[in-house]
Amino acid sequence: MKIITILLQIVFIHIFLFLGATVQTLFHLPIPASMIGLVLLFLALSLHIIKLEWVEKGGNWLLAELLLFFVPSAVGVVNYNEMFSLQGLTTVIIIGVSTFIVMATTAFIADRIYFYKERDVQ
């Protein structure tokens, strides 16, 4: 029963994806259909056009299993011969170092502002 609810809700969420694609085509937007769909779903929830219960179970499942949907693309990495060279290895190291710097900087800044703000409130 729970599986059927999740499946139906995923089908329902697709409506917003298609609406997003329609809006994108109509207005020639350089934004992906899924991002427009996100905004449309958010608006539909905020304006009480649809109820949270209609999408919550399916949406939570999609988000919980998000990594699964990245798996085929990760397998596809083997298609890029350029990656299996010194150049590719160097790029992987650059990506690792840069990701570390971005994560640390963002965490540090957000944490500082957060505690500054919280102390202000008290």
Partner 1 sequence: MMIIVVVCMTIALYAIAKIGYKKLPLPIFHPLLLSPILIIAVIIIFHVSANQYLIQAQPLTHMLGPATVAFAIPIYKHLAVVKKYIGIIVTSITIGSLVAIFSSLLLALMVHLNNNFLVSVLPRSVTTPIAMEVSKDIGGIPTLTTVFVILTGIIGGIIGPSVINGLSIKSPVAKGLALGMSAHGVGTNKAMEYGEQAATFSTLAMIFAASITMVWGKVLIPFIITYLG
Kindly state the smallest distance separating residue 121's Cβ from partner 1, in Å: 10
Q: Could you give the CA distance from residue 40 to residue 32 in angstroms, rounded to a whole number?
A: 13
Per the CB < 8 A criterion, the answer to whether 42 and 59 are in contact is: no
* Interaction of residue 35 with partner 1, rule CB under 8 A: yes
* Interaction of residue 84 with partner 1, rule CB under 8 A: no
* Interaction of residue 2 with partner 1, rule CB under 8 A: no
Contacts of 49 (CB under 8 A, 6+ apart): 43
Kindly state the smallest distance separating residue 1's Cβ from partner 1, in Å: 21
| Residue of the chain from 4, 117, 119, 120 that contacts partner 1 (CB under 8 A) | 117
Q: Could you give the CA distance from residue 46 to residue 22 in angstroms, rounded to a whole number?
A: 21
* Interaction of residue 98 with partner 1, rule CB under 8 A: yes
